[in-house]
């Protein structure tokens, strides 16, 4: 990436969006931004890792995996483009990542140490607002979930279950879960759940494997 | 409240916790804090109100009500002591309150206009960190909900349903909901749900009324 290329990229990061080129140049000049390239297959962050920094995906694709507390459900999603990886985990009560991120393609990442991030929240109103807005919006979305109209059919229940376990509302997803567990979570008979999944498969919305459900595009399912 | 009393109270507000008396005095001197008393029964904030400010309960008790999108479920909780009312709603994508707050006793409140709040996040590292930590911790808790071990019995399912619709993990709660709706949400027969609720009532953990469930102390139920 050339010099202009880097700045254009930085402006696409949710934390830097809206900055003037002058402000951004000042920040890049004065801030320790840790640029890092990772190879395909490399693990960027593991579930349970201490956070203490802002980790930003700038280029490439990551697989984001989340594992349930009893390890009976794993959800894999794909992140591409500019994403700040769990910015809320650099603050608050539990300062550890709760997802694992692994490179699906060669990736470019930027890390900002928490001290540096705090300094940026002090010197830049835009960075500060972007950070607070990012975490607030995610919280608003999470808060709303429990209060939606209830699903009206088993199909809607299955679809809501799957989408409620995703961070991004679009893209390819892999659910590693046995049908027994899915049926238990939905409080529904296994045969009914299997039948419903087969109907969705027939409509090309997902494919069923042993202990795995692939959703090619969540936006088509929801 | 005397002068010392006010400062002691302010230090108990999650946004001012950890400040030195000198810093707090500086902030009180330079910031437009809107002190407000409300009478019993008065509504402080309504669901859907534009936010644009930080509203802080300093003294007294509030009833916090949340209504589901289809209006078939209302949950009432009691807040006492120092609480910032939905600080995330002053930021992010949806800057409107999603709860209604009504005074159960005479209350003292402080409002900080968003501009003033932003100025405080600029001049005070502690205020800034407290605000980000507060929102982050709430988000971490919400994020964890979908990944817990599944409930093992109908009783556990009922209890989790009730507690998942509460903001505070303790205290008195009122659920205004018909048993049909509860059974629908749990995907369970109405008779089974009614039976389970009666068992919980017999153990003194809740009392059943027509279209209403009173929980005297959520911490005893969970």
**B3-145 and B148-221: same fold?**
no
Q: How far apart are CA A9 and CA A17, in angstroms?
A: 10
Q: Is B116 left (phi over 0), alpha (psi -120 to 50) or beta?
A: alpha
Q: Give the model confidence (pLDDT) of B135-146 as tens digits.
A: 999 999 999 999
Q: Are strands A107-113 and A33-38 parallel, antiparallel or unpaired?
A: antiparallel
* Residues A9 and A82 sit within 8 Å (Cβ to Cβ): yes
Nearest beta carbon to residue A139 from set B66, B138, B147: B138
CATH fold group of domain B3-145: Jelly Rolls (2.60.120)
- The CA distances from residue A183 to A86, A165, A194, B53, in Å, are 30, 15, 9, 44
pLDDT of the residue at A3: 52
Percent of chain B with pLDDT over 70: 98
Enter the ipTM.
0.95
Q: Find which of B139, B157, B185, B192 to mutate to test the A interface (most A CBs within 10 Å of its CB).
A: B139
pLDDT band at A12 (very low <50, low <70, confident <90, very high): very high
Instruction: Decide if B98 and A122 are in contact by the 8 Å CB cutoff.
Output: no
pLDDT band at A5 (very low <50, low <70, confident <90, very high): confident
For domain B148-221, say whether CATH 3.20.20.20 is its number: no
Q: How far apart are CA B126 and CA A152, in angstroms?
A: 47
Q: Where are the domains positioned within chain B?
A: 3-145, 148-221
Using a CB-CB cut-off of 8 Å, the residues of chain A touching B133 are 91-93
Closest to B212 (Cα-Cα) out of B72, B83, B70: B72
| Averaged pLDDT for residues B196-215 | 98
CA distance B2 to chain A (A): 33
Q: Give the model confidence (pLDDT) of B111-131 as tens digits.
A: 999 999 999 999 999 999 999
* Architecture (CATH level 2) of domain A154-221: Orthogonal Bundle (1.10)
Q: Give the model confidence (pLDDT) of A35-74 as tens digits.
A: 999 999 999 999 999 999 999 999 999 999 999 999 999 9
Instruction: Decide if B88 and A139 are in contact by the 8 Å CB cutoff.
Output: yes
Q: Which residue of A has its CA nearest to B124?
A: A122
């Amino acid at each position: 990436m050339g010099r202009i290329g880097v700045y254009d990229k930085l402006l696409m990061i949710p934390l830097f969006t809206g900055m003037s080129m002058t402000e951004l140049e000042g920040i890049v000049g004065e801030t320790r931004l840790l640029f890092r390239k990772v190879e395909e297959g490399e693990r960027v962050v593991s579930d349970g890792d201490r956070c203490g920094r802002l980790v930003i995906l700038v280029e490439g694709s990551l697989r984001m995996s989340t594992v349930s507390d009893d390890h009976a459900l794993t959800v894999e999603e794909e992140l591409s483009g500019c994403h700040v990886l769990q910015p809320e985990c650099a603050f608050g009560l539990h300062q550890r990542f709760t997802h694992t991120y692994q490179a699906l393609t060669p990736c470019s990442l930027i890390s900002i140490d928490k001290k540096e991030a705090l300094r940026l929240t002090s010197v830049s109103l835009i960075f500060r607002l972007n950070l607070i807005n990012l975490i607030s919006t995610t919280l608003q979305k999470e808060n709303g979930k429990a209060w939606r109209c209830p699903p009206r059919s088993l199909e809607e229940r299955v679809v809501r279950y799957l989408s409620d376990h995703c961070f991004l509302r679009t893209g390819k997803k892999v659910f590693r879960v046995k049908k027994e567990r899915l049926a238990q979570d939905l409080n529904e008979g296994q045969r009914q759940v299997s039948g419903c999944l087969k109907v969705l498969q027939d409509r090309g919305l997902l494919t069923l494997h042993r202990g795995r459900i692939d959703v090619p595009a969540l936006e088509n399912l929801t």
